[in-house]
Amino acid sequence: GVVGSALELPFTDASYSVVVSCDMLEHLPAGQRQAAVAEMLRVCGGCLLLGFPSGADAWRTYQDLASKWGRNQPAWLREHLEFGLPEVDEVAGWLEQAGWQVRCQWYESVAEHAARIWWERSGWQRWTSYLAACLWGPWLIRREKPLSTGDPLRVLLSATPPNFPSGGG
């Protein structure tokens, strides 16, 4: 493994054809997010995929969870509340300003997220979820459907550089 900072990735320019960041931006202070996205663009030679919770519905969900759990909040939730959530339009704007083509797809609703959190809050469910993700994660991800109903919580931004072959992002 490689240990590094999202603000100074230890890789050369365009060293990866695909760069993926899932649920990371909301764990950085808001003032560092644009630099982290720029750093991912620097090492990406093809397609950048950014997944993160965003928007008023997501923010309300995390505030409700914090109220419900009180002092038993997990570290990830405390960071969400301390740093705030990335705004999808702002992050997409950074990518577009860099000249990248951006597609946006909402893929998890508040209700789906709440069900997943409930399932993973206790011991045996947490380990079962981890094992299932290891064994069947890629298969399940390929079958994930775009959000069609419900309040949106999580977004996937897919970005490709200018003149990237069609179908690449």
DSSP designation for 143: T
Q: What is the pLDDT of residue 168?
A: 44
Bridge partners, 48 (sequence order):
19, 159
pTM assigned to the model: 0.81
Q: What DSSP letter does each residue of 144-167 carry, written as one string? A: PPPP-SS-EEEEEEEEE-TTPPTT
Q: What is the per-residue pLDDT across 63-72, written as a single tens digit (0 to 9) for each?
A: 998 998 899 8
For residue 50, pLDDT over 90 is answered with yes
3-state SS class at 44: strand
Banded model confidence at residue 139, pLDDT cuts 50, 70, 90: low
* 112 Cβ contact partners less than 8 Å away, ≥ 6 residues apart: 150, 153
* 86 Cβ contact partners less than 8 Å away, ≥ 6 residues apart: 25, 26, 30, 33, 52, 54
How far apart are the C-alpha atoms of 100 and 121, rounded to whole Å?
38
Are residues 46 and 164 in contact, defined by beta-carbon separation less than 8 angstroms? yes
